[in-house]
């Protein structure tokens, strides 16, 4: 099923559209010990900004997956221009045609909330090695949201429910993750600085209106919906 907000990101080709933007990505990976022999999975890779950064800076093997054809085309163009050999998959993270225990590390930047959360977490646990790690950046509720606000979120972003931190931890544990810790970052949900765009031709005016609606939503409800960065490991025996 198409998601208008994700289509917007694809048509505008916005790099670092996740909460915190690409500057948060750089901050996170300052402390991650990724080695050249590691295999990293970037889910919902978008235009490939993070995947390219990982390949360039760590020399590791990278696989990038996204369900959006436009995003995949823009990611491939980036990798080709940068001379990077990155495996690119057009596919659904809820059902990946990838062998069990393939990856040493998974990065998810505001992706899981836009899917069936349990289905995606189960799949990510399946493809992560038993000693592997995952970092996820996700929209998080600061308190119980009213039904009216939940409906607004669902209509704008196509998200069924915004989980709070405890709910995220519980879902991770139920789907085969352990040693869950919060990475300390500013958690306020603000419009990310747009550092790069790869804009498609002939974009409908409706998408410009949707972007304005997104900005207005964050300004109005940013105190109720923020984000968390969580790091976790695959639970042995799952």
Q: Which two tokens stand for residue 220?
A: 């109005």
Q: Which two tokens stand for residue 22?
A: 């690409």
Quick one: pLDDT at residue 186?
A: 63
Quick one: pLDDT at residue 187?
A: 57
Quick one: pLDDT at residue 43?
A: 98
Tell me the domain boundaries of the chain.
4-233
C-alpha dist (Å) from residue 90 to 70, 79, 84, 149, 177: 10, 15, 18, 32, 26
pLDDT tens string, the chain, 238 residues long: the values are 467 888 888 887 777 677 778 888 999 999 888 999 999 999 999 999 999 999 999 999 999 999 999 999 999 999 999 999 999 999 999 999 999 999 999 999 999 999 999 999 999 999 999 989 999 999 999 998 999 999 999 999 999 899 999 999 999 999 999 999 999 876 555 555 556 667 788 888 888 898 899 889 988 998 899 999 999 998 776 6
pTM of the model: 0.91
Q: Which CATH superfamily is domain 4-233 in?
A: Vaccinia Virus protein VP39 (3.40.50.150)
Quick one: pLDDT at residue 236?
A: 72
d(CA 132, CA 130): 6
Strands 177-182 and 225-234, bridge-based pairing: antiparallel
As to burial, measured by CB atoms within 10 angstroms (0-12 exposed, 13-18 middle, 19+ buried), residue 220 is exposed
């Amino acid at each position: 099923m198409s998601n208008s907000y994700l289509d917007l990101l694809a048509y505008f080709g916005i790099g670092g559209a996740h909460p915190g933007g690409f500057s948060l990505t750089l901050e996170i990976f300052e402390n991650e010990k990724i080695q050249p022999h590691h295999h990293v999975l970037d889910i919902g890779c978008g235009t490939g900004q993070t995947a390219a950064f990982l390949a360039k800076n760590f020399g590791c093997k990278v696989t990038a997956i996204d369900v959006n054809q436009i995003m995949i085309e823009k990611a491939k163009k980036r990798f080709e221009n940068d001379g990077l050999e990155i495996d690119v998959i057009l596919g659904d993270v809820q059902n990946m045609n990838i062998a069990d225990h393939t990856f040493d590390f998974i990065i998810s930047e505001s992706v899981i909330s836009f899917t069936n959360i349990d289905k995606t977490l189960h799949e990510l646990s399946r493809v992560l090695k038993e000693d592997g790690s995952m970092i996820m950046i996700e929209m998080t509720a600061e308190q119980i949201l009213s039904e009216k606000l939940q409906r607004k979120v669902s209509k704008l972003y196509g998200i069924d429910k915004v989980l709070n931190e405890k709910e995220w931890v519980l879902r991770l544990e139920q789907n085969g993750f352990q040693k869950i810790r919060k990475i300390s970052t500013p958690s306020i949900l603000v419009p990310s600085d747009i550092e790069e765009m790869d804009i498609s031709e002939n974009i409908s005016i409706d998408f410009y209106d949707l972007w304005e609606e997104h900005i207005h939503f964050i300004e109005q409800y940013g105190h109720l919906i923020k984000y968390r960065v969580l790091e976790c490991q695959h639970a042995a025996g799952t």
